[in-house]
Amino acid sequence: MVADLRIGELSRRTGVSPELLRAWERRYDLLQPERSSGGYRLYSAADERRVRTMTGGIARGLSAGEAAKLALGDGLEAPSTATLVDALVGFDDVGAHAALDRLLSSFTVESVIGDSVLPALRELGERWQRGEITIGQEHFASNLLRGRMLGLARGWDRGSGPRALLACPSGEQHDLSLIAFGLALREHGWRITYLGADTPLATIDETATSLHPELILIAAADASRLSGHAGALKNLAARFPLALAGAGADEALAKRIGARHLSMSPVDAAAIVAAQN
């Protein structure tokens, strides 16, 4: 198969950003480029078909890992959430950790977070909203997964790569997606300084002034946690590269304060940030 498409043309044809195409190539081996005489990656019609199959699968509700399996058609096994969710709903601490151990022994941290942990959290949240599980089951699951992700985060500030400062603003307690972003960004060689949930903006500012990070990411599920502090956020964005994420962030607020809006999944957002820095 002749490979003659540069990544920009492949992006134009498929509607997928170059950054996300590179992330899929690295994470799932979805693309199989050849090298031109000048050293450029060249993609084939087969690569284009796999990208279209993957985006179609995602549009039908498949996880990225499941869609990649469909696109590759070569027996690649994507991490499954079923066993993990069953253990979490059953308050089965040992079973949940065993399921995570099996996934982490077979797949990258990035893949496990993006294709198993985050989908499990979404499924549990939806089941709780439908009244199918109790608040106790949801809390058990969230706390177990949070603890496990923070265990994976040990030492994530080591190295010499660019530094990201991550925090949720005052009053915001939902930090699981923020931890997931940090783990995924660490896989790209970044160092992570994590301030966590319910962090006053003054504390974020003070820490940034001390560390001079290449990125500050502030995430919130509640829009009022961000919009109520637009002035302070604008001041922060004037001095440091600032991004907003989570259900409480939107493009309009980010534009107004001079920040970047990361609307995609935490794993894809990390891949795009890493590719552009």
What's the mean pLDDT when you consider all of the chain?
91
| CATH classification at residue 224 | 3.40.50.280
d(CA 192, CA 186): 7
Out of 26-35, 65-74, 254-263, least confident range: 65-74
Q: Clarify whether residues 132 and 47 are in a common domain.
A: no
pLDDT (0 to 100) of residue 75:
40
d(CA 196, CA 213): 16
Confidence category of residue 66, pLDDT binned at 50, 70, 90: confident
Q: Give 4's DSSP letter.
A: E
Q: Clarify whether residues 205 and 264 are in a common domain.
A: yes
Q: What is the SS3 string spanning 126-167?
A: HHHHCCCCCHHHHHHHHHHHHHHHHHHCCCCCCCCCCEEEEE
Q: Clarify whether residues 62 and 106 are in a common domain.
A: no
Out of 18-32, 53-67, 205-219, least confident range: 53-67
Higher pLDDT, 262 or 68: 262
Domain boundary among the residues 121, 152, 183 is at: 152
Q: Give 114's DSSP letter.
A: I
pLDDT (0 to 100) of residue 76:
44
Q: Which residue has the tokens 């941290």?
A: 109
Beta strand 242-245 pairing with 260-262: parallel
Q: Clarify whether residues 215 and 270 are in a common domain.
A: yes
pLDDT (0 to 100) of residue 80:
62
pLDDT at residue 252 above 60?
A: yes
Q: Clarify whether residues 87 and 67 are in a common domain.
A: no
Q: Clarify whether residues 145 and 174 are in a common domain.
A: no
Q: Clarify whether residues 172 and 266 are in a common domain.
A: yes
Domain that holds residue 203: 163-275
pLDDT at residue 74 above 70?
A: no
pLDDT (0 to 100) of residue 179:
98
